[in-house]
Structure 1
Amino acid sequence: MSSLPCLPASPHRFPLARLGAIALSGPDHLSYLQGQVTCDVAALPVGSQTLGGHCDPKGKLWASFRLLRQPERLLLLLEQDLLARQLPELKKYAVFSKLTIAPLADLPLWGLAGSGSDAWVARHWGLEDTGLLADGMACRLGTDRWLLAGIPTEADLPGAPEADWWGLEILAGLPHLSAVHQGEYIPQMINLQALGGISFHKGCYTGQETVARAKYRGSNNRALFILQGQGSQAVAPGDVLELALESGDWKRAGLVLDVWQQGADRLLSAVLPQDLAVETRLRLKGDEQSRLAIQPLPYSLAE
């Protein structure tokens, strides 16, 4: 069986070079973003966070993100390579509102994870859950796992490889779109409805009709899966996955969303048909010796 990324035995700091940040500020920043994204921005208390998505008018995602609400601004944290297409789309209607939308290239972003990290945060900053700090925010993602935004990196902590952070994100079933996925998926295809990233009561936003139809008419037939196994070739987001047919042939099943790889070991998140049986055999196209098995999600997809 393949190995998996695991929490360090003590608190470690992780660089997060893959992450970028967008700040929205000004009198209309709350109302403007409320009409653009899937999550309920207006209901988010100051000092809290949520996942969310930004869709095109057809309900296909430009970006998935983590939203942080600070006293005078909103922060969107998302993959750096999404910004080139997503940022202009986010700004498209801003001319009619009083706000500023700008990327923050120098915002410190890092991860904290490892046994005892919750106690470390409580001891250093007095937080038991997500909250504001003098320089930014500390976001609790799970037991002993935190994302720090706007806070100088804690140099006294030992460092850990960034790749392992993203492996832990995969194990948590958290979606991370890359540029290759833009325009491919509606929010339910990456499980945002199961992660608190979609509000079905907030009213209109871009792409809302498609997202609502997927819920109330059951029109979505895909979901995010976690896959574990081995392969001989390097894997990248957007690579094609195939499933085994009873005939012995292989059929295209979906795309890799994110990957952690070490030696021959592979851990993937992928968007695949929602009705796949747990025992379905999968492989990476072009790597005929690769074998991947479906792993349980750490949450329920039931709405």
Structure 2
Amino acid sequence: MNETWKSFIENQGAVLEGDRVQHFGHPVEERRAAAGGHVLADLSGFSLIVARGGDTQNFLNGQLSNDIRQLDATHSQLASWCSPKGRMLVIFRLLRRGSDTLLQLPATLLENTLKRLRMFVMRAKVTLESADAALVSIGLSGPDAKKILTEAAGFAPSGDNGCETREDVTIINLPGLHPRYEIIAPTAAVEKLWGNLKSKATPVGPAVWAWLDIMAGIPSVHPQTIEEFVPQMANLEAVGGVNFKKGCYPGQEIVARMQYLGKLKQRMYRAHVAGEVAPRPGDAIFASDFPGQSAGTVVEAQPSPDGGYDLLAVIQISSAEAGELHFGSETGPRLTLHSLPYSLPAGS
């Protein structure tokens, strides 16, 4: 988070822990607003990498799971960067902004990802830099978000993952419980938009936005889950993050083999768990058909507006179908599975 935005968002009532916004003073009410009303989210939990240069498209296409040649200024896309074993190191959201390509990722992964990705540049004409000093991200969600945003910014793109840039302000239309938009722009422009939007939406922190991602079934990779999942385990192909017809990239053979020759044994599910213990990425899920060992792993979890915790977890398909799942131990709190807002490929 850049210092100018940090100072601004603190003056707006944000409660910070280090450089991370936690909430705006009323965390329970903020979560409830996300479920049924309008929220305005600080997204400083994300960072941005800017890729520039004549070889940018070819370089990224040779590294990521999606076809970067299909990326343009009118839509964003998800893509994973995998290890040679096909296990995800990070999930990016990519977008074009002028001649730049932006890669959004959790801020906790920025430093190591940037360092490791630069190692593969070699002689390619591409530079990779953090854009966090120049650009800020905020989000707007709610039943009337499109109207509210159009009145404040002058436009709002249509269609899932639709993207548009006007006068240095980029807006992405994201899937969600309600119409949902992310705004990326220089700090001064975001401050102005925040001022125009805050009277029509409840300010919230990144954790509430992460809950909206859970409701949308959008996976993430955190430090605790690096190299835990191949893309299909986290449903990445179901949300448009994998292209099986593009050329090679690290781990491509394993990802393709899983798609065409293997039988997927694990999938990502949406679930709820009651209790006071907060699930964390990487925590284990247990099931009666896997005695003495983990049957799944938490991908993301956030407090639910109704109490307890909502989460995404990669779980053995056989265990999910058996119906008895427990968090943390074989006798831990029961998980209740909920439907995803999208269909999984046949045979999953």
Normalised to the residue count of structure 2, the TM-score between the two structures is: 0.79
Q: Which residue in 1 is equivalent to 2:237? A: 193
Q: Which moved more, 1:62-71 or 1:287-296?
A: 287-296
Contact 1:225 1:271 in 2 (8 A): yes
Judging changes above 3 Å, is the alpha-carbon distance between structure 1 residues 33 and 176 closer, same or farther for their aligned structure 2 residues? same
Residue 235 of structure 1 pairs with residue 279 of structure 2 = yes
Q: What is the letter of the counterpart of residue 80 of structure 2?
A: G
* 2:49 pairs with 1:22: yes
Matches within 5 A, 1:37-116: 37-106=64-133, 107-116=135-144
The alpha-carbon distance between structure 1 residues 99 and 62, as it changes in their structure 2 partners (threshold 3 A), is same
Asked if structure 1 preserves the Cα contact closer than 8 Å seen for 2:286 and 2:330, the reply is no
Distance apart, 1:58 and its partner CA: 1.5
**Residue of structure 2 in register with 1:226 after alignment:** 270
Is 1:141 paired with 2:141? no
- CA drift of 1:111 comes to 1.0
CA distance in 1, matches of 2:248, 2:206: 37
Change in Cα spacing, 1:298 to 1:56, as seen in structure 2 (3 Å) is same
Alpha-carbon spacing, 1:279–1:57, altered in 2? closer, same or farther (3 Å): closer
Q: Displacement of 1:286 after TM fit? A: 4.9
1:120-166 superposed Cα distances (whole Å, 9 cap, x missing partner): 22333223322112223111113421111225141232412432211
Identity %: 28
Superposed CA offset, 1:45-92 (max 9, x none):
223200110011121111011111122111111111222332222112
CA distance in 1, matches of 2:276, 2:223: 25
Alpha carbons 1:49, 1:69 under 8 Å: kept: yes
- Where in structure 2 are there 5+ consecutive unaligned residues? 1-30
The amino acid across from 1:152 in the alignment is V
How many correspondences in the alignment?
Answer: 298
2: CA distance, partners of 1:73 / 1:23: 6
List 4+ stretches of structure 1 deviating above 3 A: 4-11, 275-279, 286-289
2:220 aligned partner: 176
* 2:342 maps to which of 294, 299, 303: 299
Matched position secondary structure for 2:70: coil
Q: What RMSD over aligned residues (CA atoms) do the two structures have, in Å?
A: 2.2
